[in-house]
Amino acid sequence: MTKSRTINAQTELYGIIGKPVGHSLSPVMHNAAFEHLGMNAVYLAFETDDTDAASRAMRCLGIRGYSVTIPNKESIIRYLDEPDDTVIKIGACNTVRNRDGRLQGTNTDWIGAIKALERITSLAGKRAVVLGAGGSARAIIYGLIRSGVHVTVCNRTIEKAQRLSEEFGCTPLALEEAERLSGHILINTTSVGMGKLQDDSPLSKKGVENYDIVMDIVYAPLETKLLGYASSLGKKVVNGLEMLLLQATAQFEFWTGQPAPEQVMKKALEDAVRQSN
């Protein structure tokens, strides 16, 4: 049963920092978790791209935890007292906790992606093609490599794919090459499929035929054109909502030390998406 809570002087404050953040579903998930567990805590959205001020505010006001989103995932790192290995290797931080004024950072994006995939397949020895070479791609490739996956990264700017491949030990190719490739897993980390590109797909339906599992980190719309192709071909699909949920449960546990109420957070997330459509 959901427990009621009261906001008072002892309420712990958490939030997301980014710009924009008005669309963020993180407050829905984390507040549902706090309320379900009867925790005296609240999670708010802070629209800012000033990570210096945000980090000082965290220390000054005793804010317990931040989710960090675009454009702050890289710039926040210089203000961390203790970035962990994932932050250093990925070069991005999406989660910060305040321990007595010391800011500790980690990255849970890769955890969300890998857990989502592991729920439908084993990963060791598999071959994956990742579309895009931005921050999300870096986190996912980090997780895939440490899970024993051979990764090919395809990007519009081949030089960016080459730099990423040198760091992580994967194979770089131009984005158009993805049409002729094959593998166990295809992952789209580009913006194709959302916003003004909602009616587009990074691969043709014929290109999608070459994969067993198709994952898209875009969650609005929930079924992108790419995932629509995959579903029509009988492929296993992983939508962006699953990764969003599982990176958030990892954040919750990093902040609180408690198991996250995943099903509660999932229901809150799905209800919010349903209401927005």
pTM over 0.95: no
Query: Mind listing the pLDDT tens digit for each residue in 201-213?
Result: 999 999 999 999 9
**Cβ proximity of 243 and 189 under 8 Å:** no
Pick the catalytic residue from 3, 73, 160, 205.
73
Alpha-carbon span 177 to 170, nearest angstrom:
15
Residue 205 annotated among the catalytic residues of the structure = no
Residue type (1 letter), 29:
M
Identify the residue whose tokens are 């003004």: 196
Percent of the chain with pLDDT over 90: 90
Span 133-166, pLDDT tens digits: 988 999 999 999 999 999 999 999 999 999 999 9
d(CA 15, CA 98): 12
Distance of CA 22 to the CA centre of its chain: 17
Banded model confidence at residue 195, pLDDT cuts 50, 70, 90: confident
Nearest to 15 by CA among 38, 39, 59, 47: 47
Q: Which two tokens stand for residue 170?
A: 């994967």
Residues of the chain with CATH 3.40.50.720: 111-238
The CA angle 85-86-87, to the nearest 5 degrees, is 90
Portions of the chain given CATH number 3.40.50.10860: 12-107+247-276
CATH class of 12-107+247-276: alpha beta
Q: Summarize pLDDT for 24-79 with one digit per residue, the tens.
A: 999 999 999 999 999 999 999 999 999 999 999 999 999 999 999 989 999 999 99
Q: Which residue has the higher pLDDT, 107 or 276?
A: 107
**Following DSSP, what letter does each residue of 195-211 receive, concatenated?**
GGGTT--SS-HHHHTTE
CA–CA gap between residue 91 and residue 77 (Å, rounded): 8
The CATH homologous superfamily for domain 111-238 is NAD(P)-binding Rossmann-like Domain (3.40.50.720)
Distance CA 218, CA 145 (A): 22
Q: Are 211 and 236 in contact (CB under 8 A)?
A: no
Helix axes 240-256, 262-276, angle to 10 degrees: 140
186 and 208 Cβ atoms separated by less than 8 Å: yes
Nearest to 152 by CA among 210, 109, 98: 210
Q: What is the pLDDT of residue 1?
A: 41
